[in-house]
Structure 1
């Protein structure tokens, strides 16, 4: 393995509870409730454009309107999350392990660049990543593999040389379609669900990736 590529929400930070709160408040702002079932069905792992289509089913949105509405919601999310921002347990130590091992690293997120910069800089993680890709860097969102294919190209690695960390259904499908070895984080879905949709293995958080297990992982992923 030469490269490790990370999704952001649910992988670098467990933002899902705060995104859920932000979307619920945002839906209420426009007079529409958002139940837990609706969140799973219409919001979790979905691109903002698709979520807004559900929020405004009878209101065709121009590209500019969609971007403005999405920006409003993401600004609300950052306001809510700022007091609680913290990395997924074990992440900083694992990133240092990757750096010490000479592996290349990237982030490939469907979030806007404002969220990416907010989280990476608030946690002082920028120096750990060689490539940072947000939603604006590709035209086709997950589950299309475009963002992971671009990350691999920018890192100069092949799919079989890459490990991708993901937490959602759409993300796992994108990572598998990109041809990488995929590790699911059970922050959003259950371990059973992540394995069912294609993750090669599942961890709870990065504290499970001790140096010994990481070496086993590199050996196992090479043979897949």
Structure 2
């Protein structure tokens, strides 16, 4: 634990350690669907369907069937997976954040809190190696709750053995940061590696 009482460091995954862009998948679905890109995005990624899947309320097969129905496409499951998983990429900054997390793991309990479905989780386990930087992984698909629901943050606190005020959390979305702060966590919006290092230093974390 640091001199400022921080015991656990908790990190978001998307657009912190791994970037993603849903529009990559949308553009590949356009010629198969006949719908416009904004229509596909709204029906696919901006509906309750994604949250249901991220909370494991529906199976991968049910999710696939529903996507085909609402987007209006006919394709094999394998073809769908290729498109659906091809949204992730890493920048040099992502890799530097990953290296920083690995270093911090030597001194602190380090955990991941991510809204992620089982298909993307399994894909990233093999495609982009970042999960090994963490002592524990708290995912919405395992917990059955997405951020900003308190259950997922509370699961991370239990896994770390830290009280809310002993936990540092970083996420790129302000509404998810606000939810963590409401529980008493020391939470910061991710605005790049340089700002992350400043936020860590502010909490006495080196």
Query: TM-score if structure 2 supplies the norm length?
Result: 0.68
- Tell me how far apart the structure 2 counterparts of residues 32 and 177 of structure 1 sit (CA, whole Å): 40
SS of residue paired to 2:86: helix
Indicate whether 1:32 and 2:35 are aligned: yes
Rounded to whole Å, the distance in 1 between the matches of 2:31 and 2:180 is: 33
Structure 2 portions without partners, runs of 5+: 1-5, 68-76
Equivalent of 1:67 in 63, 77, 82: 63
Instruction: Give the structure 2 partner of residue 22 of structure 1.
Output: 25
Report the Cα offset of residue 14 of structure 1.
Answer: 1.8
Unaligned runs of 5+ in 1: 52-61, 186-202
Asked if the contact 2:188/2:199 (under 8 Å) is kept, the reply is: no
Q: Whole-Å Cα distance in 2 between the matches of residues 160 and 47 of structure 1?
A: 34
Structure-2 separation of matches of 1:46 and 1:206: 32
Distance change >3 Å, CA 85–CA 144, structure 1 → 2: same
Select which of 216, 219, 222 maps to 2:201. 216
Bigger drift between 155-164 and 91-100 goes to: 91-100
Partner SS state of residue 21, structure 1: helix
The Cα offsets for residues 71-105 of structure 1, whole Å up to 9 and x where unpaired, read as 88664232354xx44462521231133123x1111
Alpha-carbon separation, structure 2, partners of 1:113 and 1:122: 14
- Counting matched residue pairs gives 184
Of 161, 175, 178, which residue of structure 1 is paired with 2:166? Answer: 161
TM-score normalised by the chain length of structure 1 = 0.64
Task: Name which of 90, 94, 112 aligns with 1:88.
Answer: 94
Does 2:116 match 1:131?
no
Q: Is the 8 A contact 1:110 1:135 kept in 2?
A: yes
* Cα drift, residue 151 of structure 1: 1.1
Separation (CA, whole Å) in 2 of partners of 1:214 and 1:23: 35
Relative contact order (alpha carbons < 8 A, sep ≥ 6): 1 or 2 greater? 2
Answer with 1 or 2: which has the greater Rg: 2
- Report the secondary structure of 1:88's partner residue: helix
